[in-house]
Amino acid sequence: MRTTFQEELDLLEATLQEEGELVLRALRGSINALEQRDHELASEVIAFDDDVDQRYVAIEEGVQSLLARQTPVATDLRLVLAILHVNLHLERMADYCVTIAKLSQLVPDVEPSPRFVEGFEEMGARCEEMIRVALDSFVKRDLEGAESLVDLDELVDRANRRVVERILELGEAPRMREYGLRMVLVSRALERIGDHAVDIGEQISYLLTGEFREFSDASHSHPRS
């Protein structure tokens, strides 16, 4: 039994979960900053990204060291490769949270309808759920949970389309148009966070089955709902 090796693998996985928790915090913070127009909170989210990056680098280095010294094979190899990919997906998610926080600071002083804010609240909550499902499925080695991310993502995509439709109704006033433009990017950032959660699900599937598989074919557009 390779005790040291197993301990190092466990530590990497624990750090990955920690990184996931930080991403959840960043996501919640960025949505709150947007809803409440809290520029200070937005600045915190932006500064907070360093914590995520720190975990990201620690995991990268840990994986590099494991590959160089321990030559993992079979399930161990798949776990190390999955950690490497999931690490990148989480880091990207955190970057999107920073994007949302920055956009929230750039929003002109306009009063859109409350429906608008509700749309982002819904997308944010759905993305949070997806990240939780992804992290839990990884810990529990739960293939069904991982596969359920596709359906959850479809809900985020629908919410994204609704937000875009509402933006088109904002009118032609220059400040409204600027606001709408920024909000398209926020919506897009949330939609991408959902996609990354699905990608984590695919890594879990690879870890468990040894097969590379795309859950959904991104090159073919989904039917509009």
Task: Point out which residues bind other proteins (CB under 8 A).
Answer: 1-2, 5, 71-78, 209-210
CB pairs under 8 A, 24+ apart, for 10-16? 11/62, 12/59, 12/62, 12/63, 12/66, 12/80, 12/83, 13/79, 13/83, 13/138, 13/139, 15/55, 15/58, 15/59, 15/62, 16/55, 16/59, 16/83, 16/86, 16/87, 16/90, 16/138
CB 9, min distance to other proteins, A: 10
CB 81, min distance to other proteins, A: 10
Smaller CB separation from other proteins, 31 or 83: 83
CB 207, min distance to other proteins, A: 10
Smaller CB separation from other proteins, 68 or 168: 68
CB 75, min distance to other proteins, A: 6
Smaller CB separation from other proteins, 36 or 65: 65
CB 67, min distance to other proteins, A: 13
Smaller CB separation from other proteins, 29 or 72: 72
CB 3, min distance to other proteins, A: 10
Smaller CB separation from other proteins, 108 or 210: 210
